[in-house]
Chain A
Amino acid sequence: MTGSPARQPAAPEGPPGGTPAVAETLPNSLIGPDGRELAVEMMRRMLRVRLFEEATMTLFHAGELPAMVHLSTGQEAAVVGACLATRTTDYMTGNHRSHGHPIAKGADLRGLMAELLGKATGVCGGKGGSMHLADFGVGSLGESGIVGSAIPVATGAGLAAQVRGSDQVALCFFGDGAANEGVFHESANMAGVWRLPVVFFCENNGYAVSAQMTELTAVPDIAMRAAGYGMPGVVVDGQDVVAVYEATVEAVARARRGEGPSLVEAKTYRFHEHAYGLSVPQPYRDQAMVDEWHRTVDPLALFAARLTAWGLADDDELAALRAQVQKEVDDAVRFAKESPYPEPEAAYTDVYAPGSEA
């Protein structure tokens, strides 16, 4: 069967592959020198995610990845817009579609790519892999291979910030599928009743592996569920990095003011299969529709067009930025490939804290 994801924002009008329609006026958040810097940073981080994933695909086809990967391609605006609304000292958790989150939060690409290859220099020393990236140095408290399982962890990080009296917030990425897990509801309620500084950020890509959200979820918008937990819920176009950023900035500000959690739902698109290269016997979405997404709702193409239309960057500057990020990604791949595998003993360390191995 075929079909489009539930209630996705309409693809912008415009010639296929050409310049999509753009917002005519410069958004407030991008006005001035700081705004221009922010706009470039949005593009840079989206490029990091995109090109990191393209390098990952190359490694996959070369047979150099030890295991499956879940690519963030198509969802770059959602993860980057959300993360740029936070500080490095803020906390973040995520899920199996994991590469984009720490990249967007500011993690160094070398340690992430080395982790994908199971190397000793990986962010988790080769013990986590693609689905379980974590870089505590940038507030990334870890992705979870179990869907929804890290939602209470982010909620707990928010609790810690509240008890310690700091103004940190916790950004909690989860998908539309995870919104049907019990821990989502338990955690959202706990955050709501205690007014914890948590931003529940749903990347709604319309599919839980193969099943459409409309077939699994009783409400059209995950954001509607916010009302049940005493917090505001907003739906935002997940392909629009500025819209995502502005919605998350508001949620983060509310959390910092001690007014409690928010739910931001970004309607977005998963450009590739649930796991890259996964062979699904029964097609569940029309390839022509997915091809059309690449032409019409690519968040990088959409933003590039707007940057030039707003005069914030010209084609040469965008090409230079892309080349710069490509160098970073190439360096990360080289670093990962050249890094050693962990020693066998490493399988038995970090089970317990040092000095108290059981």
Chain B
Amino acid sequence: MNTTDTRRASERPAARERAKQLGFLQAINQAQTEEMARDERVILMGQDLRANVFGAAAGVLERFGPSRVRDLPLSEAASVGVAAGAAMAGLRPIIDLTVASFVFGAMDQFVSQLAKARYMFGGQATLPVVIRAALYYHGGTAGHHADRPYPMFMNVPGLKIIVPSTAPDLKGLLKSAIRDDNPVLCFEDANLWGRKGRGPIPEAEDHLVPLGVAAVRRPGTDVTIVGIGQGAYLGMEAATALAAEGIDVEVIDLRTLVPMDWPTIYESVSRTGHCVVVDPATRTCSAASEIAARIVEDCFGDLRGPIVRVTTDDTHVPFSPALEKQIYPNTQKVVAAVRRALGR
């Protein structure tokens, strides 16, 4: 039998199946469009939005008009601060910052205004703001476009943070984020824009995924893999590979980093006794670091081996294809980490 032909034959229905599935950019577009239609206080602003350069804003300007759909000047700090002020005065802005590396130009506004205004003014301010940013790593964009900066924001109370790994989740979480009365940062792993991030089109007309609830993607008994963004996808690939060796892996897709679904993590790790955390962020003080620390503090008696982190190495993202790939988590690294966690 010709293997190539076999693959082609099985791919054709798969391709048809995918066409009926929801993609990442579609999910964003649907979530934003549905929420803008639902609530006229929701406005959408971003660089290159009206021309739909990033592909998630098709039809929005035509439907909602230029007052509620605005192209932002290249002013990241003011973009975030203006969203904070507009929210304090009654709007519910969505800001598309496009690439997550651009958050650094707005850091004071994220921390001093967006995160702190409610607290410092004794609860007088309400800041329903969603800031979206793509994690644009793994594509030869080099150090200035490839950051995964969510752990820095986990260190700032007052912000909520979501990192969806499937399009249906992205849609549901983003809709919940837009309805949330707190600032929510939505980090979108661009490696999931294509085939990897696709998922079944949600059946519900108003598809909502609550913030702070993790998804158990695969039940298992031997070891828990906690994944973030593409990390959850890698966890599933590793689980499939390890199943062949008789290792039964449970995979938790965190989906939300703040608030974290500690009960789901603790329940799983307490049962399996072993844990690997897969996090595309840079290793030191990554989300994985906090997760590992908390598990050690709260579930020490149930642990039967070291918690192993699979993260991006502590270096910057190099440009050359000869250099870049090795620094990120991949399936082989996750498989090796599981073996180490199990002492095999």
Chain A: residues with CB nearer than 8 A to chain B? 91, 93, 122-128, 132, 134-136, 141-142, 144-146, 149-164, 168, 170, 182-183, 186-187, 189-190, 193-194, 349-353, 356-358
Contact = CB atoms under 8 A, between A and B. Distances in A.
Contacts of B77: 152, 182-183, 186
Contact of A141 (B123, B125, B180): B125
A134 B75 contact: no
Nearest to B211: A356
20 contacts: A124-B120, A127-B119, A127-B122, A128-B121, A136-B88, A142-B88, A144-B112, A146-B112, A153-B113, A156-B83, A160-B88, A160-B91, A162-B67, A163-B68, A183-B78, A186-B73, A187-B75, A350-B123, A351-B118, A353-B182
Nearest to A162: B67
Given A149-B112, A150-B81, A156-B87, 9 more contacts: A151-B78, A151-B81, A152-B77, A153-B113, A156-B85, A159-B91, A186-B78, A352-B158, A358-B160
B259 interface: yes
B160 A155 contact: no
B80 interface: yes
Nearest to B81: A152
A226 B80 CA distance: 22
B50 to A, nearest CB: 14
Given A128-B122, A160-B91, A183 B109 contact: yes
Nearest to A183: B77
Nearest to A141: B88
Contacts of B82: 152-153, 155-156, 159, 187, 190
Contacts of A152: 77-78, 80-82, 84-85, 109, 113
Given A183-B109, A189-B75, A351-B157, A153 B121 contact: no
B267 interface: no
Interface in B65-96: 67-68, 70, 72-73, 75, 77-78, 80-91, 93
Contacts of A159: 82, 85-86, 89, 91
B17 interface: no
A49 to B, nearest CB: 21
B81 A155 contact: yes
Contacts of B122: 122-128, 134, 350
A170 B88 CA distance: 12
Nearest to A148: B108
A141 B85 contact: yes
Contact of B84 (A156, A182, A186): A156
Interface of B: 43, 67-68, 70, 72-73, 75, 77-78, 80-91, 93, 108-109, 112-113, 117-126, 157-158, 160, 180-182, 211-212, 258-260
A164 B113 CA distance: 22
A149 B182 contact: no
B158 A351 contact: yes
Given A358-B258, A358-B259, A150 B113 contact: yes
A194 B86 contact: no
Query: Taking each of B82, B118, B119, which has the highest tally of chain A beta carbons within 10 Å of its own beta carbon?
Result: B82
Contact of B78 (A125, A155, A358): A155
Contacts of A142: 88, 117, 120-121, 124-125
Contacts of B90: 160, 164
B275 to A, nearest CB: 22
Contacts of B118: 350-353
B107 to A, nearest CB: 11
B208 to A, nearest CB: 14
A152 B110 CA distance: 12
A158 B81 CA distance: 12
